[in-house]
């Protein structure tokens, strides 16, 4: 944490929590962007945001203490502070990812190629002057809902715009960094550049099985840690011990994955000359584990039956990414279709974290998972995407004409 003196100013707890959640999630995306594109400007921004999180946590602690009126309210706010502390841990992990770039630790090319195959892909594209993106605001384009991609940074000449809001205007020659599902990348890229998306394969000049497996494992750890965070917030929002237990299992799984990663890195060190590049892999593995540990801290609130203050639920609902639960009832058009064929991320911008079916849960459902009548989908995305997903769950097809079932 910076040694700068922090002066207290009265702040709303809800606004502080919302901002901490949004900034910490942005930091993780920016951290991996910095690594993938070896960009020190982005890495520096992550560290600046890490200091901002420290300040927000300071204000959140004071606001919570001042707001407690009696033991009951103090107990509820203690859980809120535990989540705020976990959010700071996520930001610290993102900062450690960014430091890989600033320490000039060159990661193996195998890893960068595999990073582009993660469930949440990061891409960079320059806006063609003829693109519909030029001279349009992000609100007008509604990219998260239309393509599943979210703009996390814009480079305009020598200037940077991080976490642009809906009123941000894109102009020709902007270089935009975006994050989203793999299937959304080509659509996003072609709309922005007016060029065919380059399908580049990766051919290694060397074949080191242990290094390839380590790269795959880190991507699994990245995806697992991000899933754990999403499920942790879901567990709190819906106060579900079942989901909270799943977060606990994922955290235990991450411990085993990190141990396996260390073995693979040691094995790889025998076969490559530049062992310095392996330090970055270990740092990424450690950071992913820290993020999953933080997710467990959030889920622990539910596991220990700590009642949360309503202010946290309000903060979750006003966050940049909301968590929604949608029930699928007949005659919804979703019934009988796979998640892959529905393309919910590119059609609505919503990512399905879990499906409740009867008395069982399906966590991290894949593209081949079939949606059934009576399913309850837990998804994360934008507010507009939530509305679209709800409409899809109510929509039916009759004689080739779409209609909405009114309940």
Question: Does residue 27 carry a pLDDT above 90?
Answer: yes
Q: Which of 193, 212, 238 is the last residue of a domain?
A: 193
Distance CA 305, CA 236 (A): 10
Question: Does residue 287 carry a pLDDT above 60?
Answer: yes
Q: What is the pLDDT of residue 208?
A: 64
Q: What is the pLDDT of residue 394?
A: 80
Residue 51 pLDDT level (bands cut at 50, 70, 90)? very high
Domain-located, residue 24: no
Spatial CB neighbours of 342, under 8 Å, sequence gap ≥ 6: 334, 371, 392
Q: CA angle at residue 297 from 291 to 299, to 5 degrees?
A: 105
Q: What is the pLDDT of residue 199?
A: 66
Domain of residue 186 covers 119-193
Q: What is the pLDDT of residue 404?
A: 36
**Number of independent structural domains in the chain:** 2
Domain-located, residue 41: no
Strand partners, 356: 361, 376
Distance CA 51, CA 65 (A): 22
Q: What is the pLDDT of residue 382?
A: 85
Q: What is the pLDDT of residue 197?
A: 87
Question: Does residue 269 carry a pLDDT above 90?
Answer: no
Q: Which of 225-229, 307-311, 391-395 has the highest mean pLDDT?
A: 225-229
Domain-located, residue 309: no
Domain-located, residue 268: no
Distance CA 295, CA 224 (A): 11
Domain-located, residue 19: no
Residue 213 pLDDT level (bands cut at 50, 70, 90)? confident
Question: Other C-beta atoms within 10 Å of 305: how many?
Answer: 8
Domain-located, residue 352: yes
pLDDT in tens, 297-352: 999 999 999 888 888 888 888 888 889 999 998 888 899 999 989 988 888 889 99
Spatial CB neighbours of 225, under 8 Å, sequence gap ≥ 6: 254, 288, 289, 291, 292, 295
Q: Which of 168, 193, 218 is the last residue of a domain?
A: 193
Question: Among 43-52, 92-101, 320-329, which is the least confidently predicted range?
Answer: 320-329
Q: How large is the average pLDDT for residues 33-39?
A: 90
Spatial CB neighbours of 14, under 8 Å, sequence gap ≥ 6: 311, 312, 314, 315, 318
Q: What is the pLDDT of residue 209?
A: 80
Domain-located, residue 279: no
Q: How large is the average pLDDT for residues 239-255?
A: 94
Question: Does residue 276 carry a pLDDT above 90?
Answer: no
Of all residues in the chain, the percent with pLDDT exceeding 70 is 90
Of all residues in the chain, the percent with pLDDT exceeding 90 is 54
Distance CA 235, CA 355 (A): 13
Distance CA 159, CA 296 (A): 37
CATH number at residue 364: 3.30.70.1450
Angle, helix 310-317 to helix 209-237, in steps of 10 degrees: 120
Domain-located, residue 148: yes
Residue 183 pLDDT level (bands cut at 50, 70, 90)? confident
Question: Does residue 116 carry a pLDDT above 70?
Answer: no
Q: What is the pLDDT of residue 107?
A: 81
Question: Does residue 395 carry a pLDDT above 70?
Answer: no
Residue 132 pLDDT level (bands cut at 50, 70, 90)? very high
Residue 228 pLDDT level (bands cut at 50, 70, 90)? very high
Residue 260 pLDDT level (bands cut at 50, 70, 90)? very high
Nearest to 82 by CA among 333, 330, 296: 296
Is 0.75 topped by the overall pTM? yes
pLDDT in tens, 185-209: 899 999 999 999 886 554 544 556 8
Question: Does residue 399 carry a pLDDT above 70?
Answer: no
Q: Which of 193, 211, 246 is the last residue of a domain?
A: 193
Question: Does residue 104 carry a pLDDT above 50?
Answer: yes
Q: What is the pLDDT of residue 227?
A: 93
Q: What is the pLDDT of residue 349?
A: 85
């Amino acid at each position: 944490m910076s040694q700068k003196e922090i002066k207290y100013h009265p702040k709303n707890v809800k606004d502080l929590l919302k901002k901490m959640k949004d900034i910490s999630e942005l930091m993780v995306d920016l951290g991996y962007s910095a690594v993938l594109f070896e960009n020190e400007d982005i890495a520096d921004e992550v560290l600046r945001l890490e200091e901002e999180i420290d300040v927000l946590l300071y204000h959140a602690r004071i606001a919570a203490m001042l707001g407690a009126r009696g033991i009951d309210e103090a107990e509820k706010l203690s859980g809120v502070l535990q989540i705020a502390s976990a959010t700071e841990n996520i930001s610290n992990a993102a900062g450690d990812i960014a430091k890989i770039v600033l320490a000039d630790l060159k990661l193996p090319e195998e890893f960068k190629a595999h990073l582009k195959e993660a469930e949440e892909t990061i891409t960079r594209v320059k806006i063609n002057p003829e693109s519909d993106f030029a001279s349009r605001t992000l609100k007008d384009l509604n990219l998260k809902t239309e393509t599943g991609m979210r703009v996390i940074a814009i480079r305009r000449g020598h200037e940077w715009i991080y976490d642009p809001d809906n009123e941000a205007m894109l102009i020709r020659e902007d270089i935009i960094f975006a994050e989203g599902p793999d299937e959304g990348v080509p659509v996003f890229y072609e709309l922005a550049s007016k060029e065919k998306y380059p399908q580049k394969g990766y051919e290694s000049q060397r074949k080191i099985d242990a290094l390839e497996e380590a790269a795959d494992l880190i991507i699994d750890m990245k995806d697992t840690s991000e899933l754990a965070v999403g499920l942790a917030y879901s567990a709190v929002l819906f106060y579900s011990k079942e989901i909270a237990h799943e977060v606990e299992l994922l955290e235990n799984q991450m411990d085993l994955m990190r141990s396996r990663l260390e073995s693979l890195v040691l094995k790889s060190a025998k076969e490559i000359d530049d062992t310095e590049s392996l330090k970055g892999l270990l740092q990424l593995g450690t950071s992913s584990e820290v993020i999953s540990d933080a997710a467990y801290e959030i889920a622990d609130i539910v596991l220990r039956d700590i009642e949360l203050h309503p202010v946290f639920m309000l903060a979750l609902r006003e966050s940049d990414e909301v968590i929604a639960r949608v029930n699928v009832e007949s005659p919804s058009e979703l019934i009988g279709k796979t998640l892959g064929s529905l393309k919910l991320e590119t059609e609505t911008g919503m990512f399905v974290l879990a499906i409740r079916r009867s008395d069982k849960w399906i966590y991290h459902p894949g593209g081949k998972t079939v949606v059934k009548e009576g399913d309850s989908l837990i998804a994360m995305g934008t507010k507009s995407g939530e509305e679209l997903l709800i409409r899809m769950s109510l929509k039916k097809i009759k004689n080739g004409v779409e209609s909405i079932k009114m309940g």
